[in-house]
Amino acid sequence: MKFRNFKMVDYVVFGRGAFDQLDEILAPRRKGDAPMIFFTDHFFQDKPAFAARIPLRGKDKIVYIDVTDEPKTKYVDKVRDELKAEFGEVSGIIGIGGGSVMDMAKAVALMMTNPGSSADYQGWDLVKVAGVYKVGIPTLSGTGAEVSRTCVLTGPTRKLGMNSDFTPFDQIVLDPDLIKGAPVNQQFYTAMDCYIHCIESLQGTYLNAFSRSYGEEALRLCQEIFLHKDKWDDDADEKLMMASYAGGMSIAYSQVGVAHAVSYGLSYLLGTKHGIGNCIVFDKLEEYYPEGVKEFKQMVKKHNIEIPQHITKDLTDEQFNKMIDVSLGMAPLWENALGKDWKEIMTREKLRALYEQL
Ligand code: NAD
Ligand code: ZN
């Protein structure tokens, strides 16, 4: 097919307090006494007031998801095996958290019905059977994981998502109240993931009017929140939540670029998290995104954020080579950023020099 025909999220609810509508949203999706499983970010483990708002019925269960590390295929398989052993079938999986928990929810929902290990499905369109019903509820905004057709997993040989038409959520609940009060640095790193999605999409060679419309709007929202506001307020939560949504929609029809391709290498080798890793890389990308990087530095300064420096200074040649391999493996990202002849532009030497600056 010449033009991409992509599957989107089926239902979206947006509004402050929308989370309290969850019971009503789930009711028609319950299958007999098969439970709904609420994957909840471990940040909420010692917050009983939050757990009390989760609409448990019958055999429903809250499973706290440990996101100390970004999701691994092994963790997905383990949680799937445990759910199968305990319940046989479930009615659905609801992921309440940042990008990591939302990706876990997507992955486990798919693996409830697809045989084998989640590592077998890392790639494009390898998932052949619909998973169980799944809902995404962000408590951090920026990744766009709430709208994307992937769930990023680190497997035995690579970090790659399960990209498929079965991967998007059936329902998302966007409640700006839930992102209120996240730690300032974390919120910034995750929000910058959105900002970087916009810059990479808008300056990419894959850009079309669909991507541009969403990308420009998300960019405008990010600028409003991080450059033009004097303090964080309710309006900022709402705008950030919509920026993440629009940023995700923008890359649905285009691709990310240099920052993501380089940051994937850091993440694979050093376990650097997605948001902060993108910031570490983007900070050094004046050559590719001059205006975006200039504005990014203004936002960092205004919000007193620390971007780690010199994280690659003690690495060996072998380690640099591993990162370069992982990064150059992301062909569509490089092609979007630099065009069809990207291999002539981004040589191993040039990429090594970039990694050495980080
Ligand atoms: P995250 O989900 O990894 O969470 C970061 C930290 O914030 C964790 O310690 C978590 O416990 C905490 N946290 C979450 N919500 C909080 C809240 N309301 N208050 C306080 N702390 C809170 O962070 P993220 O940046 O949202 O997600 C990054 C992940 O998303 C990575 O695993 C990345 O691979 C993935 N990702 C996926 C997509 C996609 O399209 N599927 C796109 C980009 C990134
Ligand atoms: Zn990203």
Ligand closest in space to the Cα of 276: 1
- Tell me the pLDDT of the chain averaged across its residues: 96
Q: Per residue in 46-67, pLDDT tens?
A: 999 999 999 999 999 999 999 9
Cβ neighbours for 218, distance < 8 A, ≥ 6 positions apart: 194, 197, 198, 242, 243, 244, 245, 246, 247, 250
- Mean pLDDT in residue range 76-96: 98
Domain residue ranges of the chain, discontinuous segments joined by +: 11-179, 184-357
Distance 33 CA to ligand 1 centre (A): 31
pLDDT band at 4 (very low <50, low <70, confident <90, very high): confident
Residue scoring higher pLDDT (231 or 60): 60
Distance 110 CA to ligand 1 centre (A): 20
Distance 186 CA to ligand 1 centre (A): 9
| Residues with Cβ–ion distance below 5 A, ligand 2 | 193
Q: Which strands make up the sheet holding 159-163, listed edge to edge?
A: 123-124, 159-163, 152-154
With a 6 Å cutoff on the Cβ, whether 151 touches ligand 1 is yes
CATH classification of 184-357 is 1.20.1090.10, yes or no?
yes
Task: Specify the ligand 1 atom closest to the Cα of 178.
Answer: 18
pLDDT over 90 (residue 1)? no
pTM over 0.90: yes
Q: Per residue in 113-122, pLDDT tens?
A: 999 999 999 9
- Mean pLDDT in residue range 148-161: 91
- Mean pLDDT in residue range 159-165: 93
Distance 275 CA to ligand 2 centre (A): 7
Residue located nearest, by CA, to atom 38 of ligand 1? 145
pLDDT at position 159, please?
Answer: 86
Domain 11-179: top CATH class? alpha beta
Letter string b/e over residues 299-335, b meaning 16 or more CB atoms within 10 A of that residue's CB: bbeeeebebeeeebeebeeeebeebbebbbbbeebbb
pLDDT at position 221, please?
Answer: 98
pLDDT band at 158 (very low <50, low <70, confident <90, very high): confident
